[in-house]
Structure 1
């Protein structure tokens, strides 16, 4: 195999999916996974076959790939703004049979989505994005009621529920995850109760990251989780204390190409294969799974710099190393194809939505 390449352990992927779905089901929470970690139709269908109710897409073009690949139930978790985006959305929905729902948090967004619904001659299903403290996007609590009422007054939009992304949970130590998962759920539940007091039906409460979904008991009351990273996990998940290294399903395989000095070696994988994402703990750009005493301490674009104790470790040019990246979600988007290890051999699959970040 030409290095660097991505190897995905299929058995670990299946175990991770089953674990997540089972964990959520205990508390009557559906699973609608983000597919941006893998961007692959085959893996999305695997998640659906194993019990997911639909998928979540991070961009309009990513959604288009999934729709063309036969995925029939999609949440687009990005506010669409601008004539070009609304035109593209119209073309996708006009050309394909898909159960579609999306988010909105602005009057301009309402106007644009309503125009799409009118052209399609059917209302679009809408979730109102609520800011749960991360301030990435979302309506503030005091404005939710009037905003939902505005949606309900538009014949080309159908309000279905509430959405939030509590991404700042990643800032906290493991011991605080349960508390913040409960807070995430309570924000959505509280907003639903306020709307229901005004006679507004709320079918969907959409939340749940990988971290908060590991505390599924605390999310009880929401209707769906959009956890995504869990399909592979990575070193930052390990650093957060939510998984063990053996649960990590994705590795970047690289090769030692140079040994300029004793205790120093260079591999053929840099930031364009591993990303430059920093670890939550330590200073390494990934964990070298098959040679844990080697440390990956610096990256150029195509080169990785390894340091080790040459008195204790024997390392030769040509040796292959297996790296669990700090942040696995970004890695498949750096490759045209990845390789699935099913225990019998490696099978190449395309990263179908690679580069579809718009």
Structure 2
């Protein structure tokens, strides 16, 4: 065990009590509703966390990258959804090879016949069948077919050799635009209902639809519980972050991931400078409104801006920060912050109890 004040700074920390409570709470809510939980592993990229999620009942994982898929397959995880359209010869070859090496266990996402054709050709040549879900736009307008075109596009893809339709998928990321929690919950339910409707249209057209998959942490209290949804894919919930506090998904005392930093300079009154910048925090400011993150236990201090190695705080409090003081910072976006680090310290109280590796980074 290492006291926090003995760690080099900056350092990435995960509070074990909060982490374990977050995992248990989400797993319990999904189990009670009879909905499968397939967490997004991009939030943590850490086996010690993933193992805890599996132990709590997760059916497998959602992945963003080929590296995440390969890493989890090497750990023996057999039910993975790559929520990514495999475009280009390297990604196509990776999918086929992953299925051949592991005898299945991988499902990909598609949203066009054009994207599906190279995958179909490679799969047919190798004698494998690639399971896929059709991604549907329920409002986020990032990837996904429009609901009105889903049946026709699904039919076109499913008709290609070497591909098998398993169901539908959406990411209801657009609901975070609402600052009102009741409106956010309503938008989440609407996204789930729209996806269920598309699944019904596909079944009417003769397709088997076993998976109706939704996914986001802001929507995790609404979208997965629409009747007809079969699984949810939240990721950030294990750590939460400053963005999630802003949209009401959690309170600050649920945030498990922090960056430990020290005050390096106080040459300008009210503007202490710390030794953690965007290389420690990431520069994600999706909902940040001019903030790089939140200063844990010091609501009077604003983390206003950062460059690569330094952060600039605004301290108007009654107890000004001094050189050498430690601060713990809640990142705006946990997933982007994780990808900046090669390891983290698992913490209980004011001591680091273990060092955990972070894998499958870019």
Matched pairs, number: 354
**Shift of residue 93 of structure 1?**
2.7
Q: Which runs of 4+ in 1 moved over 6 A?
A: none
* SS of match in other structure, 2:267: strand
**Shift of residue 342 of structure 1?**
4.2
What is the distance in 2 between the residues matched to 1:140 and 1:293? 45
**Shift of residue 44 of structure 1?**
1.6
**Shift of residue 136 of structure 1?**
0.7
| Residues 110-146 of structure 1 deviation map (CA, whole Å, 9 limit, x = unaligned) | 2122233224423111111111122111112232112
User: What is aligned with 1:191?
Assistant: 198
Choose the corresponding residue for 1:209, options 198, 212, 216.
216
User: What is aligned with 1:82?
Assistant: 88
TM-score (norm 1): 0.93
User: What is aligned with 2:310?
Assistant: 303
Alignment of 1:83-98 (within 5 A): 83-98=89-104
- Is residue 234 from structure 1 mapped to residue 241 from structure 2 by the alignment? yes
User: What is aligned with 2:260?
Assistant: 253
What is the distance in 1 between the residues matched to 2:125 and 2:43? 33
User: What is aligned with 2:3?
Assistant: none
**Shift of residue 98 of structure 1?**
4.7
What is the distance in 1 between the residues matched to 2:211 and 2:250? 29
What is the distance in 2 between the residues matched to 1:48 and 1:219? 24
What is the distance in 2 between the residues matched to 1:107 and 1:217? 28
Aligned Cα RMSD in Å?
Answer: 1.8
* SS of match in other structure, 1:214: coil
- Please tell me whether the aligned partners of residues 208 and 219 of structure 1 are also in contact (alpha carbons under 8 angstroms): no
Choose the corresponding residue for 2:188, options 161, 181, 188.
181
**Shift of residue 262 of structure 1?**
2.4
| Residues 57-80 of structure 1 deviation map (CA, whole Å, 9 limit, x = unaligned) | 011222112212322210000011
- Please tell me whether the aligned partners of residues 31 and 52 of structure 1 are also in contact (alpha carbons under 8 angstroms): yes
What is the distance in 2 between the residues matched to 1:264 and 1:128? 50
| Residues 279-306 of structure 1 deviation map (CA, whole Å, 9 limit, x = unaligned) | 6365332111133322221211110112
Choose the corresponding residue for 1:265, options 272, 275, 281.
272
Alignment of 1:37-186 (within 5 A): 37-172=43-178, 173-186=180-193
